Amino acid sequence: MLIPTIQPPFPLSWGFTTRLDSPVGMPPVRLKQIHGCEVHAASNTIQAGDGLWTATPGEAIGVRVADCTPILLAGLAGHTPWVAALHAGWRGAVAGILRRGVALFQAQGGRPQDLTWALGPAIRQCHFEVGQEVVEAARKDPAWQEALASPGAKGKAWLDLHGLLRAQALDLGLDPAKDGSILRCTRCEPEVFFSFRNGDIEGRQWGWVRID
């Protein structure tokens, strides 16, 4: 398992699993992920959406991914530890799932600059070929920069999803000094990561977090 390189100012367990990790000990599945931008307070039911948050110690939450980006957030909302796990493919990123997650932290009394944050392994620009309609959708984002897409063959483009999410994070006021991201490409390392584009239809890795 890969652990974010920065830790928040309270005890927690968190990380990004790989295909080498046992699924034993992972959080219960509480999300039906739909490539949207809904973020829910964790509950014991399965909710449709792409993110969960909790302020309850001992309650493990997570998202399951195989090329999409898992995002972990952790910070003190006032004096209360708060954590979230988000699932961001390009659709979720463009729909604003990170904005939604940060807004929920603020609604609990937190300040964006106090969040420790980490993007996990995902398909990177080296392998993320998309159609122009994806670039057009991403271009509408207020944090968009043209350097996030480079031209590919036959009108396609190579999209930097990590880069888009990082640009959004900074645009939201997250602190670059609290960025614990692990920027590795799931498609580049098939021996380590599940990759949907590499044929892993079922296999998923977790981005998960628990306040201890």
Q: Which is nearer to Zn ion, 83 or 159 (CB)?
A: 159
If the CB atoms of residues 116 and 181 are measured against Zn ion, the closer one turns out to be 181
Q: How many residues bind Zn ion (CB under 5 A)?
A: 6
CA atoms in the 13 A half-sphere facing the CB of 35: 7
Stretch that binds Zn ion, among 60-68, 78-86, 136-144, 185-193 (CB under 5 A): 185-193
Q: Kindly write out the interface string for residues 102-141 of this chain, putting x where it contacts Zn ion by CB under 5 A and - elsewhere.
A: ----------------------x-xx--------------
Least Cβ distance, residue 196 to Zn ion (angstroms) = 13
Smaller CB separation from Zn ion, 178 or 187: 187
Choose between 8 and 89: whose C-beta lies nearer to Zn ion. 89
Distance, C-alpha 31 to centroid of its chain: 14
Place of tokens 């000094």: 177
Rounded distance between C-alpha atoms, residue 5 and residue 3, angstroms = 6
Residue 188 in the binding site for Zn ion (CB under 5 A): yes
SS3 27: coil
91 sits near Zn ion (criterion: CB under 5 A): no
Closer CB to Zn ion, 26 or 192, in the complex: 192
DSSP assignment of 94-153 equals HHTHHHHHHHHHHHTT--GGG-EEEE--B--TTT-EE-HHHHHHHHTSTT--GGGEEE-G
Binding of Zn ion by 3 (CB under 5 A): no
Q: Does the CA dihedral 111-95-169-50 come out positive or negative?
A: positive
Residues in touch with Zn ion (CB under 5 A)? 124, 126-127, 185, 187-188
